[in-house]
């Protein structure tokens, strides 16, 4: 999937920034493992703590206070901030609960919000995956983010 996204970005002459929380740099790692990533990959920010989201990506404290770190609005703000900071054509973001702890009834383990910022605007989606294993969740969250970007690049 990362190779498909890389190929699309190169073919379309687009660039990408990534803001990751729960995936901890896994998206950036997969994309930069591909030869030629310097043609499209601009920036990676692992903003695990709220203060990092605020200081690096410009996520407003009010968003975090009202919605929390794991929310579609936060994912949107992260993606928009990464795009603005980098000047990339597209930016994707992840914020979620990889587990095995940290969830609650409203946001259980396996919840991820993925943001996408691009020429068409900023959107986000929330997903919930029923896996309790941390590394598996991180891999699934990463695949979902890459697939969201892939679908956008195909439109």
* Residue-wise pLDDT tens digits, 21-40: 999 999 999 999 999 999 99
Q: What is each CA distance from 144 to 2, 21, 153, in whole angstroms?
A: 11, 14, 14
User: Hey, what domains does the chain have and what are their CATH numbers?
Assistant: 2-153 (3.90.950.20)
**What is the signed CA dihedral for 6, 12, 17, 21, rounded to 10 degrees?**
-50
Rounded to an integer, what distance in angstroms lies between the CA atom of residue 14 and that of residue 10?
6
Q: What is the pLDDT of residue 103?
A: 84
Q: Which two tokens stand for residue 52?
A: 């990092």
Q: Tokens 């803001």 belong to which residue?
A: 19
Cα 72 off chain centre by: 11
Answer yes or no: are the C-beta atoms of 148 and 79 closer than 8 Å. Answer: no
Q: What is the pLDDT of residue 98?
A: 95
pTM of the predicted model as reported, rounded to 2 decimal places: 0.96
Q: What is the pLDDT of residue 130?
A: 83
**Mean pLDDT value across residues 2-17:** 98
Taking Cα atoms as reference points, which of 111, 138, 136, 135 lies closest to residue 125?
111
* Residue-wise pLDDT tens digits, 35-58: 999 999 999 999 999 999 999 999
Rounded to an integer, what distance in angstroms lies between the CA atom of residue 118 and that of residue 94?
15
Q: How confident is the model at residue 131 (pLDDT cuts 50, 70, 90)?
A: confident
* Residue-wise pLDDT tens digits, 74-117: 999 999 999 999 999 999 999 999 998 888 888 999 999 999 99
């Amino acid at each position: 999937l990362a190779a498909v996204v890389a190929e699309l970005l190169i073919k379309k002459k687009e660039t990408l920034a990534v803001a990751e929380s729960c995936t901890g740099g896994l998206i950036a790692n997969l994309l930069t493992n591909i030869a030629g990533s310097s043609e499209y990959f601009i920036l990676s920010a692992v903003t695990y703590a709220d203060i990092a989201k605020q200081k690096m990506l410009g996520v407003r404290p009010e968003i975090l206070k009202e919605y929390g770190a794991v929310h579609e609005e936060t994912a949107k703000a992260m993606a928009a901030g990464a795009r603005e900071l980098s000047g990339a054509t597209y930016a994707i973001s992840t914020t979620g609960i990889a587990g095995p702890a940290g969830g609650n009834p409203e946001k259980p383990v396996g919840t991820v919000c993925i943001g996408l910022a691009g020429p068409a605007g900023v959107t986000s989606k929330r997903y919930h995956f029923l896996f309790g294993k941390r590394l598996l969740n991180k891999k699934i969250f990463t695949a979902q983010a890459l697939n969201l970007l892939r679908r956008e690049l195909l439109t």
